[in-house]
Amino acid sequence: MEIFWFLIIAVVLAMFFVLDGYDFGTGIIHLFFAKSEKDKEVIAKAAGLFWDSNEVWLVAAGGMLFMAFPTFYASVFSGFYLSLILVLWLIIFRAIGLEFRSQFNYQMWKDIWDKSFGVSSLLLALFFGIALGNVVRGVNLGGVEQGISTYEAHFFFLPLWNSSFSPLTNHPGVIDWFTIIIGLISVVTLAIHGANWVIMKTNSSINEKLKKVIFKLNCVLLALTIVSVICWQIVNPDALNNFAEKWYLLLFPLLYIVGLTGLFFIHKFKKDRYGFVCSTLLIVGGISSSLASLFPVLLPSVNDINEPLSIYNTAASDYGLSVALGWGIIGFILLFVYMIVQKRIMGGKIDHMDYGH
Amino acid sequence: MEDMIFYDRLQFAFTITFHYIFPQLTMGLSLIIVFLKGLYLRKKVEKYNDAAKFLMKIFAINFTMGVITGIPMEFQFGTNWAKFSELTGGIIGQTLAMEGMFSFFLESSFLALFIFGEKLMGQKLHFLTGFLVFLGSWASGWFILATNAWMQHPVGYEVLENGKYVLENFSALFTNPWLLPAFLHNQLASVVTSSFVVASIGAFYILRQKNIEYGKLFLKTGVIFGLISSLLVAFPTGDWNAKNVAKYQPASFAAMEGIFETEEAGAEIVLIGQPNMVEKKLDNKIAVPNILSFLTYQEWDKQIVGMDHFEEDELPDNIPALYYSYHIMVGLGTIFIGVMSLAGFFLWRKKLYNIKPLLWTIMFLVPFPYIANITGWYVAELGRQPYLVYGLLKTADGVSPTVSSGNTLFTLLGFVALYMLLGLLFLVLVGKAIHQGPKHQTH
């Protein structure tokens, strides 16, 4: 039952990064590549029409995590306190940017909110990668000082950084050189994803240019991926054990590799959709590989005194999990119905869709 | 310990108060929108459709604000109240996750369709999407109230040796005797808020001699919905809730009614007075004898226990705030019934649109239902103190063990600054939408 809920939450989380990922990426593209007012408007709209229904996936993932693994939820949310609140503020800034830019027709007004949207999208993409880096690296569970826990064994508190910015100390911070590399991967991946979304959903004048951008970013991504795999070995030498033992898990890194390779052929794609599929594979492959490498651990411990948090020592009762499975299935069926209805009515390019305001 | 949780409580109180400005409007407003859209389908008069679509614009701004300020609420369970989340997540996690699953997805999917899809899908489907938005927003209220009902009156749980509360009976969460009265009271109160908002927009248009046709429609709709809801909020739902508090949380009941000493021969109802916590009495009291006993138990001389009956650490920790919140809520509720009855009477006599003092009153009353709703929630939450889960888990034991109060103060200041900005932008946007008014659109 724990495994089942782990899989559900992983899928919901991946959905969030695929869906909201494109509008974070759209924000990054907007910040660096949208020059003419018309493009700015169309690109902002490509994110603006969908962000709130995408963000609901984050809320759903949070709710399910709370329900299924309450101890994990409590530990991680309080342990990453400052970073999470910063993420919240950025989410707010981004949303205001999207919602308010078109409310008044002054250039200055629009510029302010465009920057707010772009910069907070960029920082959020960075933070999400850093978060993944933290989960892979592990934290000082129990706040161990000289062999003695200062809190209950499943709690911790991470500063934003420590003075060495190194992942190899006993008291790592949220930001160190390893998590920054993962953060950069996240930024580049989501930028590619966002560019694909813009190409797919709009007729903006920079679509051809964006394909070149995607190609270049993909080269950067390849380099970063190789660096990160090497660093990962240094930070956590057992990282690949799971893959060696259970060969079928290799499917996940394979998804990532397929997506990465596919994007080198971006200029040859006949349909705009294919690029988006490739970057979706990148995101799904990246997240699933990271989770699979840890499984069944959810958060490793950097000390030897306290056990890592796993799906078994943080889960709710079996009764609770099975009841939730009952309503969860009904909920997911309804959700797919909504998505199909929405897709049928709102598919296609969005340039001429009226935003109602 | 007391000091350590102060900023956590303040941050939650501040962020939830600000958040609840928005859902209380959207829940009630969605009902009025569905009503107007339905009226259009029956009568085929364009005015009704325009009015529904105009209100949907106001709805959309509020909905966005609700989403933006709602995400921090969910996060804070984990960030600031980690111990509470760890111990009770197996139970309240259910209702909170169900809210995401059954209401947020519904609401957000169909709101987009309602706003953008009118031309793409025809009038009947458009009505249906509006109805589904309404359903989603009320479902959200239902699950939040179910969560809160468990904290007020825990049921269907089992305590493990390690102190964790685990679910023993899922359906008990929804048959909780606290839930239905609280849900109905809360939803009707949100209809009161939105009725006042709609009526006051109407009054504004009439007084300003602009969009007068729409002004009359809004005023009429607002007054009818407002009269019905403000009556139902007081009776039976308000009464029903008060009886629940008297039954399940007698210490809070004594504190919110301001009864310091147990009166053997029936309790008086306090209308006005200031709690004096040093001498344990009410200053400047005006009270009517025996009424409270009658209202609560339908017996004039039934005894109601006062605060002297309880140990100090069982009483709510901020009695004056609880007492004032309750009296402000009840007082405002009474004023709403009065104003709406008067407006309803003149509407019936077809004179309402010409009585300027009444129109001005309705227009300026608009902040007060918000205050009544929020103080109503203060009654529930302050009344539950010193517990997080009534009778089981003290508030001080629910806080995050690793987050220092310095960090919490920092984030609290950040939220205050950010929400000031949000509030300002919100007012500008709503003001702009009202200024533009409902426009007749050709199809």
* pLDDT tens, position by position, A105-156: 888 888 888 899 999 999 999 999 999 999 989 888 888 888 888 888 889 9
Instruction: Single out the residue of A58, A50, A2 nearest to residue A22, CA to CA.
Output: A50
For residue B238, the enclosing domain spans: 2-262+305-436
CB contact under 8 A, A66 and B78: yes
Average pLDDT, chain B: 92
Cβ-based contacts under 8 A for chains A and B:
219
Tell whether B80 is within 8 A of chain A (Cβ). Answer: yes
Phi, psi of A355 (to 5 degrees): -85, 5
Angle at the Cα of A213 from the Cα atoms of A210 and A218, rounded to 5 degrees: 125
Chain A residues whose CB is inside 8 A of the B411 CB are 81-82, 85
Taking Cα atoms as reference points, which of B62, B76, B132 lies closest to residue B104?
A: B132
pLDDT tens sequence across A275-334: 899 999 999 999 999 999 988 899 988 888 888 999 999 999 899 999 999 999 999 999
- Please write the tens of the pLDDT for every residue from B282-297: 888 898 888 898 888 8
CB proximity list for B261: less than 8 A, separation 6 or greater: B280, B306, B307, B308
Residue of A nearest to B84 (CA): A74
Q: How far is A96 from chain B (nearest CA, A)?
A: 8
Percent of chain B residues topping a pLDDT of 90: 73
Tell me, what's the pLDDT at B238?
Answer: 92
pLDDT at site B389: 94
Residues in B closer than 8 angstroms to A127, CB to CB, are none
Does the complex come out with an ipTM higher than 0.95? no
Nearest CA in chain B to A321: B90
Q: pLDDT tens for residues B30-45?
A: 999 999 999 999 999 9
Q: What is the mean pLDDT of residues B167-182?
A: 94
A116 domain-assigned: yes
Judge whether A220 lies within some domain. yes
Q: What is the pLDDT of residue B15?
A: 96
Q: What pTM value is reported for the model? A: 0.92
Q: How many C-beta atoms lie closer than 10 Å to residue B290's C-beta?
A: 17
CB-based contact B258:B275 (threshold 8 Å): yes
Residue A156 domain flag: yes
CA atoms within 13 A on the CB side of A154: 22
Question: How many domains, in total, are found in chain B?
Answer: 1
Q: How far apart are CA B365 and CA A47, in angstroms?
A: 38
How many CA atoms within 13 Å lie on the side-chain side of A236? 25
The answer to whether the bond into B386 is cis (omega within 30° of 0) is yes
Q: How far is CA A249 from CA A133, A240, A295, B3, in A?
A: 20, 10, 10, 49
Residue B226 placed within a domain: yes
Give percent of chain B above pLDDT 70. 98
Q: How close does chain A come to B102, measured CA to CA in Å?
A: 6
Whether residue A355 is contained in a domain is answered as no
Which residue range forms the structural domain that includes residue A65?
Answer: 2-345
> Stretch A255-277: mean pLDDT, rounded?
86
B316 preceded by cis ω (within 30°)? Answer: no
Cβ distance of A75 and B86 shorter than 8 Å: yes
Report the distance separating Cα A221 and Cα A217, nearest Å. 6
Nearest to A10 by CA among A245, A298, A299, A312: A298
* Total number of residues shown for chain B: 443
* Residue B140 domain-assigned (yes or no): yes
Rounded percentage of chain A residues whose pLDDT exceeds 90 = 43
Residue A353 pLDDT grade (very low, low, confident, very high; cuts 50, 70, 90):
low
Q: How far apart, in Å, are the Cα atoms of B172 and each of A329, B127, B150, B309? A: 21, 35, 10, 31
What mean pLDDT do residues A236-244 have?
A: 83
| pLDDT surpasses 70 at A348 | no
**Domain-embedded: residue A350:** no
CA–CA distance, A47 with A64 (Å, rounded to integer): 25
With beta carbons less than 8 A apart as the criterion, state whether A88 and B77 touch: no
Per-residue model confidence (pLDDT) at position A305: 86
Q: Are residues A73 and B78, on separate chains, in Cβ contact within 8 Å? A: yes
Whether A78 maps to a domain, the answer reads yes
**Interface check B83 vs A, CB under 8 A:** yes
Which residue, among A9, A19, A23, A56, would best test binding to B if mutated, counting the most B CBs under 10 Å from its CB?
A56
In terms of DSSP H, where are the helices of A163-206? 177-201
User: How many CB atoms are closer than 10 A to CB A65?
Assistant: 25
Question: Which one, of B129, B101, B120, B415, lies nearest residue A92 by Cα?
Answer: B415
Residue A104: pLDDT band by 50, 70, 90 thresholds? Answer: confident
- Inter-CA distances, A196 with A187, A213, A282, A346, B408, Å: 14, 10, 12, 18, 40
Taking CB atoms and an 8 Å limit, are B117 and A320 in contact across chains?
no
Predicted confidence at residue B442, as pLDDT, reads 41
The first and second tokens of residue B419, run together, are 């929400």
- pLDDT score of B325 more than 90: yes
| Among A235-249, A251-265, A279-293, B183-197, the range of highest mean pLDDT | B183-197
- Confidence category of residue B207, pLDDT binned at 50, 70, 90: very high
Specify the 3-state DSSP secondary structure of B165. strand
Chain B residues within 8 A of A335 when measuring between CB atoms: 101, 105
d(CA B367, CA B346): 23
Identity at B436, one-letter amino acid code = Q
- Partner-chain contact A88 B166, CB within 8 Å: no
% of chain A with per-residue pLDDT over 70: 97
pLDDT, residue A351, reads 63
Task: Quote the pLDDT of residue A279.
Answer: 92
Instruction: Report if residue A155 sits inside a domain.
Output: yes
pLDDT at residue A48, rounded to an integer: 77
Contact A96 B78 (CB under 8 A): no
Confidence tier at A356 by pLDDT (50, 70, 90): very low
List, in sequence order, every beta strand (DSSP E) within A208-346. Answer: 297-299, 309-310
Give the mean model confidence (pLDDT) for residues A211-228: 91
Q: Answer whether residue B37 is part of any domain.
A: yes
Best residue of A49, A53, A54, A58 to probe chain B, by most B CBs closer than 10 Å = A53
Q: Is residue B289 part of a domain?
A: no
pLDDT at A347: 66
The predicted-structure confidence for B211-263, as pLDDT tens digits, reads as follows: 999 999 999 999 999 999 999 999 899 999 999 999 999 999 999 998 898 88
A356 falls within a domain: no
The size of chain A, in residues, is 357
pLDDT of residue B289: 86
* Residue B272 counted as domain residue: no
Nearest to A51 by CA among A19, A25, A29: A19
Q: Does A143 sit within 8 Å of B166, measured CB to CB? A: no
* Residues of chain A contacting residue B115, judged by C-beta atoms under 8 Å apart: 356
**What are residue A198's phi and psi, to 5 degrees?**
-60, -45
Burial class (CB in 10 A: 0-12, 13-18, 19+), B347: middle
3 state DSSP class of A342: helix
Lowest mean pLDDT among A156-165, A306-315, A345-354, B391-400: A345-354
- Tens of pLDDT, residues B68-114: 899 999 999 999 999 999 999 999 999 999 999 999 989 888 888 88
Q: How many domains does chain A have?
A: 1
Helix (H) or strand (E) holding B68: helix B46-79
CB B106 within 8 A of CB A333: no
Q: How confident is the model at residue B443, as a pLDDT?
A: 39
